[in-house]
Every structure is written in C-alpha cells, then in structure tokens.
Amino acid sequence: MNYTLVGAFVLLLGAALIAGALWLASGGSWQKQYDLYLAVMDESVAGLNLNAPVKYNGVDVGKVQDIALDHDNPQQVRLLFAIADGAPIREDTVAVLKTQGLTGIAYVELSGGAPDSPVLQVKPGSLYPEIRTKPSLSTRLEYILTSVLSKLDSTSDGINNLLGPENQAALKSALADLAAVAKTVAAHRLDIDKGLTQATKTFDNTAKLTANLAPVVERIGRSADALEKMGEAVATTSVKAGATVDAMGADVKRLSVDTLPEVERLLGELSALTSSLRRLSDQTERDPRGLIFGRQPVLAGPGEKGVSP
C-alpha cells in the first residue's frame, strides 16, 4: 500500500473541504450583491432589530444592517440598509417604519420610485445614498391624538371658565327672565291670537285692495299715454302753425298797406251812420208821430221868429 498516495489524497480532500466551507460561508455563486443606503428616522424605532427585513411594496429587497443614534441629534435614528443590487431605489423613494401583524415585529417598507424619477445617488460629503423617510402610522396617530387631547383640554378649560360663579349667576338670571317672559306671553295668549287674526284680515284686505287697484293703475297708464299723444299732436300743430304764420307774413303786410286806409274810411262812415241812427232813435222815442206826419214847426215864443221845419 502506497502511504504517499493516501496522504496526498487526504491532504487534497481536506483542502477541498476547507475551500468548500469558505465558499459556502461567502455565499457561493448565488450570493447577491447588496448596496448600502442610509435612512434617518425622526421617531422611535422600538421593535426594529438588526437583519429586520426591508421590503419594497411588500417584496423583500434587503435587510437592516445597522441601527444607531445620531450623535449630533439624539432625536434621530440612523438606519443602514443593505439592499439588493438592481432594486429600483430612486429619488422619490420613501422609507416608512411598519409593524407586521399582531406580533409587533417591525420592518421597513419602501414605496414610490416613479419610472421618470432619477436613480438615487450619493450626495457630496455623504458615504451612502440617503433615502427620504416619513412618519409611521403609529406616529401619525399619536400626533393626531395628542392634538385632539390638547384641544379637549383647551375646550375643558373654556367650559370651566364659562361655568364660573359669575357666569352661573348670570345664566340663572337669564333663565329667570326667560321664565317671566314665557309667563307673560301665556297670560296674553288670547290677545296675541286676536292680534294675529286681525293681522290676517288686514293682509287679506290689502291683497283685495291691491287687486282692485290694478285696473285703476291700468286706466291711469292709458290716460298718461293719451296725454302724451295729445302733447305730441299739439307740438306738431304748433310747428305747423308757425310755418303757416311765416308763410302768411308777406300777405298780412301787403293787406295792411293796401287795405288799411279803406278800412279806416269805412269805419268813419259807419261811425257817422251810427250817430245818425242814434239821433233818429232818440227823436222817435220823444215824438213817434214824426215818422208818420213828419216834423211840425215849432211855434215861436214871445219876441222870437218862427222856425220852419
């Protein structure tokens, strides 16, 4: 038996086992390549442990590699994610802390990543690309409850101030006054009913009067229209009269020059004739016989000569 060959085989087998173990420890040929990303949380990460899953829309894409406080701001927690190479981590990607079911095991949920958004890159002065974060559901609920409780406290203080001794006394006085008013109204209920009935009748009469006034208003309107038409006719007539006077102006002037002297002479003769007729009338009244027998000679008086007719 060749011990040299046996020893060589054992050595080769041991080397192969050691290489295989190292290869398996390093992940073998199916080992995924991971990229490191940073996220800063402004809330408590209670329940989140190392190697907790990092999911992208519910799909595992990595794990939490490190959890540490920010030394410059202890209110913040720095999380380091190891995310599989090729995961669509973009500038609009957001990390949110969530809990799984009723067990309360925390994990990180990634969302966003629109196709037109650029791939997240390392900023100058940083070691890793930083993923934006937003408050978890529990943090938002806590904020809302805190705000509601604060408002309830403020409302409670306001109610306590409103129901202080002075306001209570004023409220009691106001209630007493309201009770007195109610009693007074109840005592005069019949008068109020009568007043309402009379008011109803007045409204009915007013409605009837309004209905009767409608024809009168219509007649007045027609009269106004007639007067307006009359005014327009008068204005038209005035214009026509003015035109007629202007047209007659020359004829009137010519009549005045040619006819006026003859008219004056005729008026003089008419005046003389009128005087004669008046004398004749007076004489007839004194002696009506003169119309039949003519005038009788007047007898002369003593020392006078007779006057012949």
- What pLDDT is recorded for position 26? 62
Question: Over the chain, what is the mean pLDDT?
Answer: 75
Residue 85 DSSP SS3: coil
| Section 218-239 average pLDDT | 63
- What pLDDT is recorded for position 29? 47
Residue type at 63 in one-letter notation: K
Q: How confident is the model at residue 222 (pLDDT cuts 50, 70, 90)?
A: low
Last residue of a domain, one of 135, 164, 199: 135
State how many domains the chain has. Answer: 3
For residue 27, give both structure tokens: 């992940």
Regarding whether 105 and 196 lie in a shared domain, the answer is no
**Domain assignment present for 279:** no
pLDDT digits (tens, 9 = 90+) for 190-209: 878 777 888 787 777 767 76
| Section 261-271 average pLDDT | 66
Regarding whether 144 and 116 lie in a shared domain, the answer is no
- What pLDDT is recorded for position 38? 94
**Domain assignment present for 3:** no
Regarding whether 159 and 181 lie in a shared domain, the answer is yes
Regarding whether 242 and 232 lie in a shared domain, the answer is yes
CA gap 89, 54 in Å, rounded: 12
Residue 108 DSSP SS3: strand
| Section 252-274 average pLDDT | 62
Residue 190 DSSP SS3: helix
**Domain assignment present for 96:** yes
**Domain assignment present for 142:** yes
**Domain assignment present for 297:** no
Regarding whether 178 and 108 lie in a shared domain, the answer is no
Instruction: Give 58's contacts (C-beta < 8 A, 6+ positions apart).
Output: 109
pLDDT digits (tens, 9 = 90+) for 120-177: 899 888 899 999 999 988 888 888 988 888 888 888 777 777 677 777 787 788 888 8
* Residue 209: domain span: 188-253
Instruction: Give 43's contacts (C-beta < 8 A, 6+ positions apart).
Output: 77, 97, 135, 136, 139
Regarding whether 110 and 50 lie in a shared domain, the answer is yes
Distance of CA 54 to the CA centre of its chain: 51
**Domain assignment present for 124:** yes
CA gap 308, 305 in Å, rounded: 9
Regarding whether 109 and 60 lie in a shared domain, the answer is yes
- Centre a 10 Å sphere on the Cβ of residue 79 and count the other Cβ atoms it contains: 23
211 vs 302, which has greater pLDDT?
A: 211
pLDDT digits (tens, 9 = 90+) for 21-52: 777 766 554 556 888 999 999 988 888 899 99
Last residue of a domain, one of 92, 117, 135: 135
**Domain assignment present for 95:** yes
Regarding whether 69 and 125 lie in a shared domain, the answer is yes
Q: How confident is the model at residue 5 (pLDDT cuts 50, 70, 90)?
A: confident
- What pLDDT is recorded for position 159? 78
Last residue of a domain, one of 111, 135, 159: 135
Q: For residue 309, is pLDDT > 80?
A: no
**Residue owning tokens 């007839």:** 284
**Domain assignment present for 84:** yes
